[in-house]
């Protein structure tokens, strides 16, 4: 219960409720993802796909729901995506350019050839992007713990369990923050 002068409460009520509803929605969706993979050993990650200006709050809400915060920004780890690979001239060139930064390096891979190259370059984590659960399971068996594995792309509550059963270390989903539905919360006002 919130108590205070009516004018003060009414001028702040909507903003406070908007934050509370939005962040409660993020925490609730995060908890649903975590619950969906319970018992598999897979850790659910959030992403940087957050509302402008609300990243810290949305990541706190995701963590409250049980997910692991992943990459607050571009400064805490290197994620080499397919466009970086193309611009650098290949996986090896992209990894070599990133290595002097001294940050953990994760490489987005889409094919067996890219997996081989990323492993040969010493990438610590591979991101299997937009693969089916069956394809991801096959590639995870091939990787055979030579690197951590994260699955991303097209992950929903409906299919996250199938992806978890493929055996990755992590599954990330931007939908935890960008698609969370606000929780319907209302406020009773009492003047003192």
Whole-number Cα distances in Å, 57 to 23, 61, 121: 7, 6, 36
Active site (annotated) includes residue 14: yes
49, 92, 97, 110: the catalytic one is 49
Active site (annotated) includes residue 138: no
Beta bridge partners of 105: 78
Q: How far apart are CA 126 and CA 1, in angstroms?
A: 47
- Cβ neighbours of residue 80 closer than 8 Å, sequence gap 6 or more: 88, 91, 94, 95, 98, 105, 106, 107, 108, 123
Active site (annotated) includes residue 76: no
58, 106, 108, 150: the catalytic one is 108
Q: How far apart are CA 182 and CA 77, in angstroms?
A: 30
Position of tokens 């925490």? 27
Active site (annotated) includes residue 59: no
Whole-number Cα distances in Å, 67 to 35, 47, 162: 10, 10, 18
What length is written for the chain?
Answer: 192
13, 31, 116, 129: the catalytic one is 129
Active site (annotated) includes residue 7: no
3, 14, 86, 99: the catalytic one is 14
- Residues annotated as catalytic are 14, 49, 81, 108, 129
């Amino acid at each position: 219960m919130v108590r205070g002068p009516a004018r003060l409460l009414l001028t702040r009520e909507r903003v406070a409720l908007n934050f509370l509803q939005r962040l409660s929605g993020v925490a609730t969706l995060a908890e649903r993802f975590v619950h969906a993979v319970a018992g598999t050993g897979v850790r659910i990650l959030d992403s940087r796909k957050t509302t402008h200006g609300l990243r810290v709050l949305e990541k706190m809400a995701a963590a409250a729901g049980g997910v692991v915060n992943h990459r607050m920004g571009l400064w805490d780890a290197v994620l080499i995506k397919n466009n970086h690979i193309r611009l650098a001239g290949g996986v090896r060139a992209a990894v070599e350019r990133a290595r002097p930064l001294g940050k953990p390096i994760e490489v987005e891979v889409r094919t067996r050839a890219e997996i081989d190259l990323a492993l040969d370059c010493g990438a610590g984590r591979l991101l299997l992007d937009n693969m089916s659960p069956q394809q991801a399971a096959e590639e995870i068996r091939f990787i055979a713990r030579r690197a951590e594995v994260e699955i991303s792309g097209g992950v929903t509550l409906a299919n996250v369990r199938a992806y978890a059963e493929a055996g990755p270390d992590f599954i990330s989903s931007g939908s935890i923050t960008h698609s969370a539905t606000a929780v319907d919360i209302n406020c009773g006002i009492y003047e003192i």
